[in-house]
């Protein structure tokens, strides 16, 4: 269930049907202003809607004042253990504070923070973590870890409601992907507040991205989750942002920049597609429009499944072809494929999103395609055409049979193929 309630962190709406917000966390010492601000600008450039900074010391709070002023995106102060730092972070201008009521020193300390948050109209993210559940839920954690997480979250919700504070979102973090999925599904049915999703300590860029894609992707596909953070073991926070965007783009929840489609390659490949795909991906980062660009390793399937791509290339040993929306545009030498592809894309934008076609070049490319295409390959299009042809044949045969006058069909015998013997 998507959250019913909505909160606002700076100028970013969260929950209540707002687009799923992408956030990350700086990896620098927050008090190191040049490094922290540089990283914030990089993550904002990569598409982060929000960024969280760790605030474990007073000097980090001091830095926070400048960071809030100079950051292009809202800042969330990340507080553990020390409720006075949470209060100071709010007073320093943080757009939101993340705290875990279980480790901040008890409900009275939480109440003090909430009183200041109310005065400054600042929302709070309350977090529950599988690694720091309250003592009275530890037994339950052994028998039903999902219910233990959900109960802890519900108790936090009850505390916020008892303080007459509804301006919050909730996160339940677990290192287990199945528990992350199950607990968020369960909580989303019980409370109307926005949910922040993440798989905690997910791992390296490879494993962490996969775990997050499975865990968060499953929930997001169900309509659960209002903001996401991909936790990766890397100092480059922008990598987390890129992965988050790929998940949202794959689910068509948000659009950002081009979509690259590339074949997996196989033994038919005749050119260095690895480097071509990497180069295309790198150059596409400069474009904001959600165009679809396809790279095919060979023309065996023709344009095949990349027929819908706005632009694409398909290559062979010495030459390749640029195409657009299933139509050949031009044949070019393989080593110029990438440059020519981007020339066509730039020409498209320069002419007001019109594909510019040169008839002579198109004819040459069409000829090249017909010479290189493997006409025996069973592409989805050809399979569909075969099925269509077969259906038409059956319909024609049925129509002809219906028109034939009733009587014995001398051309077909019901006993054809059988052998009879009178002596048997």
Cα 134 from chain centroid? 33
DSSP letter assigned to residue 375: T
Q: Which is nearer to ligand SF4, 127 or 297 (CB)?
A: 297
CA dist., res. 174 & res. 191, Å (int):
19
Q: Which is nearer to ligand SF4, 68 or 277 (CB)?
A: 277
Specify the DSSP element, H or E, that contains 75. strand 75-78
CB 259 within 8 A of CB 288: no
Binding mask 244-273 for ligand SF4 (x = CB under 6 A): -------------------xxxx-xx----
Q: Which is nearer to ligand SF4, 172 or 296 (CB)?
A: 296
Least CB distance to ligand SF4 at residue 361 (A)? 22
Tell me the number of residues near ligand SF4 by CB under 6 A.
11
Which residue, among 121, 196, 124, 120, has the nearest Cα to 160 in the 3D structure? 124
392 three-state secondary structure: helix
Radius of gyration from C-alpha coordinates of the chain: 30
CA dist., res. 285 & res. 283, Å (int):
5
Contacts of residue 337, defined as CB under 8 A and 6 or more positions apart, other chains included, come to 276, 313, 315, 320, 322
Asked if 157 is part of the footprint of ligand SF4 (rule: CB under 6 A), the reply reads no
Q: Which is nearer to ligand SF4, 376 or 423 (CB)?
A: 376
CB 102 within 8 A of CB 152: yes
Q: Which is nearer to ligand SF4, 148 or 263 (CB)?
A: 263
Stretch that binds ligand SF4, among 72-80, 221-229, 243-251, 296-304 (CB under 6 A): 296-304
Q: Kindly state the tokens that stand for 227.
A: 């903001």
Which residue, among 120, 122, 196, has the nearest Cα to 156 in the 3D structure? 196
Q: Which is nearer to ligand SF4, 51 or 296 (CB)?
A: 296
Stretch that binds ligand SF4, among 6-14, 66-74, 134-142, 298-306 (CB under 6 A): 298-306
Q: Which is nearer to ligand SF4, 172 or 295 (CB)?
A: 295
Give the CB-nearest residue to ligand SF4: 297
Asked if 276 is part of the footprint of ligand SF4 (rule: CB under 6 A), the reply reads no
Asked if 296 is part of the footprint of ligand SF4 (rule: CB under 6 A), the reply reads yes
Binding mask 301-320 for ligand SF4 (x = CB under 6 A): x-------------------
Least CB distance to ligand SF4 at residue 261 (A)? 11
Cα 127 from chain centroid? 23
Site residues (vs ligand SF4, CB under 6 A): 263-266, 268-269, 296-298, 300-301
């Amino acid at each position: 269930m998507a959250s019913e309630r909505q909160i606002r962190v700076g100028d970013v709406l969260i929950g209540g049907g707002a687009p799923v917000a992408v956030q990350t966390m700086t990896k620098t010492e927050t008090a190191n202003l040049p490094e922290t601000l540089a990283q914030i600008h990089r993550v904002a450039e990569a598409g982060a809607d929000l960024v969280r900074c760790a605030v474990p010391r007073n000097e980090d709070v001091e830095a926070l004042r400048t960071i809030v002023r100079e950051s292009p995106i809202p800042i969330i102060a990340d507080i553990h253990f020390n409720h006075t730092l949470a209060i100071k972070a709010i007073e320093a201008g943080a757009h939101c504070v993340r705290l875990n009521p279980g480790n901040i020193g008890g409900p009275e300390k939480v109440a003090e923070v909430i009183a200041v948050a109310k005065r400054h109209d600042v929302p709070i993210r309350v977090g529950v973590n599988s690694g720091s559940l309250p003592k009275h839920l530890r037994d339950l954690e052994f028998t039903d870890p999902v219910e233990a997480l959900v109960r802890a979250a519900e108790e936090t919700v009850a505390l916020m409601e008892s303080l007459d504070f509804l301006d919050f979102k909730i996160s339940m973090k677990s290192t287990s992907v199945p528990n992350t999925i199950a607990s968020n599904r369960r909580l989303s049915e019980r409370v109307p507040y926005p949910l922040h999703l993440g798989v905690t300590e997910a791992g390296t860029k490879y494993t962490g991205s996969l775990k997050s894609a499975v865990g968060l992707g499953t929930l997001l596909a169900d309509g659960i989750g209002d903001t996401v953070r991909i936790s990766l073991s890397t100092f480059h926070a922008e990598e987390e942002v890129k992965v988050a965007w790929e998940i949202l783009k794959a689910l068509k929840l948000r659009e950002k920049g081009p979509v690259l489609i590339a074949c997996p390659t196989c033994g038919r490949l005749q050119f260095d597609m690895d480097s071509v795909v990497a180069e295309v991906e790198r150059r596409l980062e400069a474009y904001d429009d959600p165009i679809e660009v396809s790279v095919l390793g060979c023309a065996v399937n023709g344009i095949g499944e990349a027929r819908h791509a706005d632009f694409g290339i398909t290559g062979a040993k010495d030459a390749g072809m640029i195409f657009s929306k299933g139509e050949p545009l031009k044949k070019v030498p393989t080593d110029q494929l990438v440059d020519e592809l981007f020339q066509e894309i730039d020409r498209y934008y320069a002419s007001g999103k019109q594909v510019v076609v040169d008839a002579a070049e198109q004819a040459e490319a069409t000829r090249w395609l017909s010479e290189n295409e493997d006409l025996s390959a069973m592409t989805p299009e050809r399979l569909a055409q075969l099925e269509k042809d077969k259906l038409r044949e059956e319909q024609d045969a049925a129509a002809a049979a219906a028109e034939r006058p009733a009587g014995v069909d001398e051309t077909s015998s019901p006993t054809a193929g059988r052998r009879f013997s009178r002596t048997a």
